[in-house]
Amino acid sequence: MSSNEKRGEAVDLSHHLSKVGQARQTSPLKGLHKYMGKPGLISLAGGLPNAAYFPFSSVSGNILAPDSFPLETDSRESSLSWFWRLFSRTDKERTSTFTVGKYSKHPGDLDLENGLQYGLATGQPKLNEIIREFVGKVFQPAYSNWTTLIHTGNTDAWSKTVQTILNPGDGLIVSEWTYPSAMAGAQPLGIIPVPIGMDSEGMSSISLRQTLSEWDESARGTPRPHVLYTVPIGQNPTGTTMGIRRKKEIYDICVEYGQPFFSPTFQDIIIVEDDPYYFLQQGKYIPKSDRVVDSATDDEAFIASLAPSYLKIDYQGRVIRLDTFSKTVCPGSRLGWFTCNPMFAERLERTAETSSQAPSGFTQIYVASLLLKWQYEGYLRWLKALRLQYKQRRDYFLDCFADEFHLQKKISSEGYTAGTHLYHASLKPRRSFVPLGEKDNAYSKPLFSFVPPSSGMFLWIELHLEEHPAFSSLGYKALEMKLWTEIAEAGVLFAPGAMFFAIPVEDDTLGYGHFRISFSNSTVSLLQKKLILV
Ligand SMILES: Cc1ncc(COP(=O)(O)O)c(C=O)c1O
């Protein structure tokens, strides 16, 4: 939709509210807050401590320059100089400072008097303004009355969403491989994961349609699900990136199932888009020999180069998008935001009022100060470079695989790798001279396979355990765990694959083992150690 086209408002989706979501009342004292900003008001209502007794007279910090990391990288350099640069911290950091005092000099400025006071679950107005501008320019929601609301990170946001729109016994549509913490947040509340097959773009729309159309309530023991949880970019654990076409197909299915033809009870579907890796879209892995210099583009081209969010096609307001500063600023900030329709935002605000209230005032002040200093352009500049930094890390990791193993690239037609290049890794022959005729046998059978991740922080490898002597007696899950334990004992921790299954595997003699390996936070020596062990 072009920015000139008139956007409609969100449709009424209140039938998705859970019993708890419906029952929440405005917290009696929080309800008074709407009067607080009124000029001249004398408030004697709340238990607000007097700001004079806050022991902080100011807070300040040093902020990196938004252009601290380069916009051009050439990871073809044969020496590892770029790599050492990537990991070295010897360069002098360019910083600027900020200070926020207890009382503001100009109306609307950040201050501690308000920033460290009890606040609304909607967050500090300055931070909200910055976030709203960012969402409008970057994600470009397709309806007019979208709302943002801050939270304390996507983990918290998901937990609040579950309480607000899911009842015990409800099904939850997820990818067959999915983020285990999200499942851990929902399953104990009686939510039943409904796994959907995947391909190289993540959740398959074909598989989704099939599951919904064949839904048998009595066999499944639950009505057709009305909530879909997805990590569309840098899918955790597989590292896939979902393009706009696939998102549109899935979105349309979610709308379509609300038509009375399918169900008189409006079983349309809400999409919860958990998207922490949105700005870590790295694109295709290009082997070292074919790689060209990477350089970032201007702001509009940068935004256009990113696979759009579901918000861009959400003309009805059926997407609850979860954003976090964890991967773009720092996880310890415990700060992020929802973008959703005003009805959900209001219910989520009520949920926050009785749990987190607002995210920490310190966090809000620090992050707002950072973004005020950098401004929108500076933050985009930071994000452009950040994606290149992680791209280099991914490339280095995979280049090491290519050096250590014989990699054979094949188009895959199966499972979550379908439709993309799958790399099979086998041992390289130890001898440099291989006699004629032995050539074909020179490499071992594949030890593991992988699809280079196109976003995020993880490499997902499939272990070929079927050749292992203990495979038939142990099954692959136990064997995966045995191998994982040995590697962990040797001092390197991967994430064992079985924990990413949406539901426990029943037949342990089929399938493959997996490891999820993070390339985001390693030191050089740890990376080398990892690669030797694999
Ligand atoms: C898919 C997904 N969602 C949520 C989170 C947690 O985000 P936050 O730090 O904002 O709670 C992660 C972190 O690894 C993640 O991978």
**CA 500 to centroid of ligand 1, rounded, Å:** 14
Give the single-character DSSP code of 124. -
Q: Is residue 1 over pLDDT 60?
A: no
Q: What is the pLDDT of residue 258?
A: 78
Check residues 532 and 237 and name the one with the higher pLDDT: 237
d(CA 3, CA 208): 31
Q: 99: which 2 tokens?
A: 């200070």
Q: What is the pLDDT of residue 79?
A: 44
Any atom of ligand 1 within 6 Å of the Cβ of 185:
no
**CA 4 to centroid of ligand 1, rounded, Å:** 34
d(CA 485, CA 461): 16
Q: What is the pLDDT of residue 401?
A: 86
**CA 507 to centroid of ligand 1, rounded, Å:** 30
pLDDT tens, position by position, 335-377:
999 999 999 999 999 999 989 889 999 999 999 999 999 999 9
Helix, strand or coil, per DSSP, at residue 180? helix
Q: Let me know how long the chain is.
A: 534
d(CA 494, CA 432): 32
Q: What is the pLDDT of residue 89?
A: 55
What residues contact 371, with CB distance under 8 A and at least 6 apart?
127, 130, 379
Domains of the chain in sequence order: 117-376 (3.40.640.10), 393-533 (3.90.1150)
Q: Which protein residue has the closest C-alpha to ligand 1 atom 4?
A: 154
Q: Which protein residue has the closest C-alpha to ligand 1 atom 15?
A: 276
Check residues 207 and 81 and name the one with the higher pLDDT: 207
Q: Residue holding tokens 């401004």?
A: 375
Give the single-character DSSP code of 26. P
Any atom of ligand 1 within 6 Å of the Cβ of 159:
no
Any atom of ligand 1 within 6 Å of the Cβ of 333:
no
d(CA 63, CA 241): 31
What is the mean predicted confidence (pLDDT) over 489-502?
A: 89
C-alpha triplet 66, 69, 74: angle, nearest 5°: 150
d(CA 433, CA 508): 41
Any atom of ligand 1 within 6 Å of the Cβ of 119:
no
What is the mean predicted confidence (pLDDT) over 93-119?
A: 93
d(CA 364, CA 360): 6
Backbone φ/ψ region at 178: left (φ over 0), alpha (ψ -120 to 50), beta: beta
Q: Residue holding tokens 């039943």?
A: 192
Any atom of ligand 1 within 6 Å of the Cβ of 359:
no
Nearest to 528 by CA among 85, 88, 83: 83
pLDDT band at 33 (very low <50, low <70, confident <90, very high): low
What is the mean predicted confidence (pLDDT) over 221-250?
A: 97
Write the DSSP string, 37-88.
TSTT----SS-PPPGGG-S-SEEEEEEE-TTSS-SEE-TT-SSSHHHHHHH-
**CA 156 to centroid of ligand 1, rounded, Å:** 9
> In DSSP terms, which residues pair with 203 in a beta bridge?
198
Ligand 1 atom nearest 327 alpha carbon: 9
Q: Is residue 4 over pLDDT 70?
A: no
Q: What is the pLDDT of residue 534?
A: 43
Any atom of ligand 1 within 6 Å of the Cβ of 281:
no
**CA 221 to centroid of ligand 1, rounded, Å:** 30
Q: What is the pLDDT of residue 468?
A: 83
Q: What is the pLDDT of residue 60?
A: 97
Helix/strand/coil (H, E, C) string of 471-514?
HHHHCHHHHHHHHHHHHHHCCCCCEEHHHHECCCCCCCCCCCEE
Q: What is the pLDDT of residue 525?
A: 54
CB atoms under 10 Å from CB of 454, counted, come to 23
Q: 294: which 2 tokens?
A: 């990477």
Distances (CA, A) of 519 to 111, 178, 398, 453, 458: 39, 19, 9, 10, 6
Q: Which protein residue has the closest C-alpha to ligand 1 atom 16?
A: 236
pLDDT band at 134 (very low <50, low <70, confident <90, very high): very high
What residues contact 384, with CB distance under 8 A and at least 6 apart?
71, 296, 297, 302
Span of 106-110, 127-131, 187-191, 299-303 with lowest mean pLDDT: 106-110
Helix (H) or strand (E) holding 230: strand 227-230
d(CA 52, CA 73): 50
Q: Over the chain, what is the mean pLDDT?
A: 88
Helix (H) or strand (E) holding 403: helix 361-404
Would you call the peptide bond into 107 cis, given omega within 30 degrees of 0 as the criterion? Answer: no
Within its chain, how far is the Cα of 131 from the centroid?
17
> In DSSP terms, which residues pair with 147 in a beta bridge?
340
Q: Which of 156, 175, 179 to mutate to test the pocket of ligand 1 (most atoms within 8 A of CB)?
A: 179
Q: Is residue 267 over pLDDT 60?
A: yes
Helix, strand or coil, per DSSP, at residue 360? coil
Q: What is the pLDDT of residue 417?
A: 81
Any atom of ligand 1 within 6 Å of the Cβ of 349:
no
Q: 523: exposed, middle or buried (C-beta count within 10 Å: 0-12, 13-18, 19+)?
A: exposed
147-151 and 319-324 strand pairing: unpaired
**CA 522 to centroid of ligand 1, rounded, Å:** 19
Q: What is the pLDDT of residue 346?
A: 97
pLDDT tens, position by position, 48-98:
899 999 999 999 999 999 999 999 876 555 445 555 555 555 557 899 999
Distances (CA, A) of 486 to 4, 405, 426, 517: 59, 21, 20, 15
Helix, strand or coil, per DSSP, at residue 102? coil
Which amino acid does the sequence have at 380? L
Q: 58: which 2 tokens?
A: 């100011």
**CA 430 to centroid of ligand 1, rounded, Å:** 42
d(CA 92, CA 76): 25
- Give the rounded percent of residues in the chain with a pLDDT score beyond 70: 85
d(CA 218, CA 222): 7
Q: Is the dihedral of CA 335, 135, 315, 349 positive or negative?
A: positive
pLDDT tens, position by position, 34-51:
666 666 677 677 788 999
pLDDT tens, position by position, 499-522:
999 987 766 666 678 999 999 987
d(CA 175, CA 312): 21
**CA 166 to centroid of ligand 1, rounded, Å:** 20
Any atom of ligand 1 within 6 Å of the Cβ of 154:
yes
Any atom of ligand 1 within 6 Å of the Cβ of 328:
no
Give the single-character DSSP code of 437. T
